[in-house]
Amino acid sequence: MNRTVMAIAVLAVVLVAGIGIYFALNAGQGDDPSPVDPGVDDMDLILTIDGRKVDVVWEDNPSVDAIKVLAKDKMTVSMERYGGFEQTGSMPKSVVKNDSWIHTSSGDIVLYRGVQISIFFDDNAYDYTRLGKISGMSESEITEMLDRPNVTAVFTLEKS
């Protein structure tokens, strides 16, 4: 009987430790409210892809606000072509997300899983948080810019 009680106690400790480690590693991923830094309120979020400044109409949501905070110190995202319809890459830190099933098209910029930014040059549908839309470029120009193995997206701030 002592061995059974001891085995159950050890199993309980291992289980509780495993659950604690899981939650410690996954706590807040994509759910960090990242309050807006007052120093970025009057700043515009700027996107540059492979050295080319791209005009974007940004959404007014907490995810974009959190990305502005990260962009305060210049945020570089190395991106890779995925699925033949998007460039995607991870930010250095996860931000708040509000995913819903959406259809994307050329020029859409979305947040995936709270930590990846995807920029589309073709259509797709999935659970994303909308961030913005490239403006002032045709679909063929967007495809030419993005339909390659890798691009580098740089997010910075500029005085409004």
Structure confidence by residue, pLDDT tens digits, 28-40: 444 444 455 666 7
Q: Are residues 20 and 84 in the same domain?
A: no
Q: Are residues 19 and 78 in the same domain?
A: no
Name the domain count of the chain: 2
Q: Are residues 131 and 101 in the same domain?
A: yes
Q: Are residues 67 and 90 in the same domain?
A: yes
Q: For 89-105, how does the pLDDT look when each residue is reduced to its tens digit (9 = 90+)?
A: 999 999 999 999 999 99
Distances (CA, A) of 36 to 68, 84, 115, 129, 132: 8, 34, 17, 18, 18
Q: Are residues 18 and 97 in the same domain?
A: no
Q: Are residues 18 and 76 in the same domain?
A: no
CA separation for the pair 121, 109 (Å, rounded): 10
Contact yes or no for 144/49 (Cβ under 8 A): no
Q: Are residues 83 and 12 in the same domain?
A: no
Q: Are residues 117 and 133 in the same domain?
A: yes
Q: Are residues 26 and 43 in the same domain?
A: no
Q: Are residues 94 and 143 in the same domain?
A: yes
Contact yes or no for 143/106 (Cβ under 8 A): yes
CATH code for position 79:
2.40.100.20
- Fill in the DSSP letter of residue 150: E
pLDDT higher at 41 or 38: 41
Average pLDDT over residues 71-82: 97
The mean pLDDT value of the chain amounts to 86
* Single pTM value for the model: 0.78
Q: Are residues 93 and 146 in the same domain?
A: yes
Domain housing 56: 38-159
- Note the pLDDT of residue 3: 74
